[in-house]
Amino acid sequence: MPFSFISAWKKRRRSNTRDHTDPWIYKPAEYWGIEDQTPQPTKRRHGSSIFTLKEMEESTCSFSDENLLGKGGFGRVYKGTLQSGEVVAIKKMELPPSKKAEGEREFRVEVDILSRLDHPNLVSLIGYCADGKHRFLVYEYMQKGNLQDHLNGSCEKKMDWPSRLKVAIGASRGLAYLHSNSEVGIPIVHRDFKSTNVLLNGNFEAKISDFGLAKLMPEGQEIDVTARVLGTFGYFDPEYTSTGKLTLQSDVYAFGVVLLELLTGRRAIDLNQGPSDRNLVVQVRHILNDRKKLRKVIDPEMARSSYTIESIAMFANLASRCVRVKSRERPSMPECVKELQLIFCTNAKGLGHAF
């Protein structure tokens, strides 16, 4: 197995450790139970720096409310400015004692996996802080926040169809990269792909975040059977839920749900609806290949002049295949990338745009 966590880690420590009294340095190779083999330096845009609690406090004005970007299951996320002047997003782990062990695991997975990956459609991990009991993850700052807010949240101007298609293409490329052998040498299943984990930069380019639940899928062992199903309600692969068998195709299902969110502007789970209408997939699955009915579910807030029905129909057809109950009937992520590129071109041609 082409794994070299220790050598990459030692290299990272040599170049990034500022303080030799750093209280906590974890050993990824031990964590994964994988032996160090040939040295293979990892290419990263950002090295994973190690920060102290003081640096985290200073960069966020002591976690002031003005710097609060959002809150998730792991804790709050703050905007911060490092001493170098770099603007970052800092995720602070705030978990009740009963969830600390789980949080620690997710923290390590995130640092371990993300610090080894380098792709324009994955959020970069700039570093982390593990000072005493405190845990922070430091990411590149994504100016436009998460995709869900742009579709049905606080953002007023809704995205047009070409922007949505570009987001879908970007996210599909990120997932295809994870599913390929990437730098890690083993396919990775994200396991928590959803619209709040698709972040947008100033140019509305999509990057995938949150690798805490990610899992390596060693070759020839494409199925991982777990007693506990992890992920987010509304994005669960039904096959994974019923059998506990995790495959790369579980991400394809979740990707299909995000495609449906892009198409309809609705949430994957809408608690404002009655029990039978809450789940987006259940609500629209049967009409995705019916052009007449399809028109009724297109996001009414999306500029009509930005899409052709032809491209919408192709997109809906792809989404319907991604959310098929049987995982083997779903397309692969590289197939999704190709189809989305074709859909983008079809839309531009139909509107008479040059591309």
Q: Which residues are catalytic?
A: 192
Stretch that binds Mg ion, among 21-29, 65-73, 168-176, 294-302 (CB under 5 A): 65-73
Q: Given CA atoms 94, 97, 102, 104 in this order, what sign does their dihedral have?
A: positive
> What, of Mg ion, ligand ATP, none, does residue 23 touch, CB below 5 to 8 Å by kind?
none
Binding of residue 210 to Mg ion (CB under 5 A):
yes
Question: Which SS3 state, helix, strand or coil, does residue 4 take?
Answer: coil
Residue whose Cβ sits closest to ligand ATP: 72
Binding track, positions 176-205, relative to ligand ATP; x by CB under 6 A = --------------------xx-x------
Extract the tokens encoding 193: 């792909």
Among 209, 249, 264, 320, binds ligand ATP (CB under 6 A): 209
Whether 79 has a binding-site annotation, put simply, is no
Alpha carbon of residue 102 to chain centroid: 19
User: Which of 129, 150, 252, 245 is CA-nearest to residue 196?
Assistant: 150
Size of the site for Mg ion (CB under 5 A): 3
Q: What angle do CA 339, 345, 351 make, to 5 degrees?
A: 135
Report whether 89 contacts 80 (CB < 8 A): yes
Q: Which is nearer to Mg ion, 152 or 327 (CB)?
A: 152
Q: Which is nearer to Mg ion, 204 or 244 (CB)?
A: 204
CA-based radius of gyration for the chain: 21
User: Which of 78, 56, 61 is CA-nearest to residue 69?
Assistant: 78
Q: Which is nearer to ligand ATP, 159 or 288 (CB)?
A: 159
Binding track, positions 49-78, relative to ligand ATP; x by CB under 6 A = --------------------xxxxxx--x-
Stretch that binds ligand ATP, among 20-28, 136-144, 239-247, 309-317 (CB under 6 A): 136-144
- Determine the residue type at 48: S
Binding of residue 139 to ligand ATP (CB under 6 A):
yes
CA gap 115, 122 in Å, rounded: 11
Binding of residue 142 to ligand ATP (CB under 6 A):
yes
Q: Which is nearer to ligand ATP, 215 or 321 (CB)?
A: 215
Size of the site for ligand ATP (CB under 6 A): 20
> What, of ligand ATP, Mg ion, none, does residue 303 touch, CB below 5 to 8 Å by kind?
none
> What, of ligand ATP, Mg ion, none, does residue 139 touch, CB below 5 to 8 Å by kind?
ligand ATP
Report whether 251 contacts 230 (CB < 8 A): no
Beta bridge partners of 79: 89
Q: What is the DSSP letter of 317?
A: H
Taking the CB of residue 250, how many other CB atoms lie within 10 A of it? 27
> What, of Mg ion, ligand ATP, none, does residue 142 touch, CB below 5 to 8 Å by kind?
ligand ATP
Residues 91-110 that bind ligand ATP (CB under 6 A): 91
210 burial (CB, 10 Å; 0-12 / 13-18 / 19+) is: buried
User: Which of 284, 279, 282, 318 is CA-nearest to residue 298?
Assistant: 284
In sequence order, the 6+-apart residues with CB closer than 8 A to the CB of 95 are 74, 75, 102, 103
Q: Which is nearer to ligand ATP, 170 or 331 (CB)?
A: 170
Among 197, 247, 327, 347, binds Mg ion (CB under 5 A): 197
Q: Phi and psi for 70 in degrees, rounded to 5?
A: 175, 180
Which residue ranges make up the site for ligand ATP (CB under 6 A)?
69-74, 77, 89, 91, 123, 139, 141-142, 145-146, 196-197, 199, 209-210
Which residue ranges make up the site for Mg ion (CB under 5 A)?
72, 197, 210
Return binding residues for ATP.
92
Return binding residues.
92
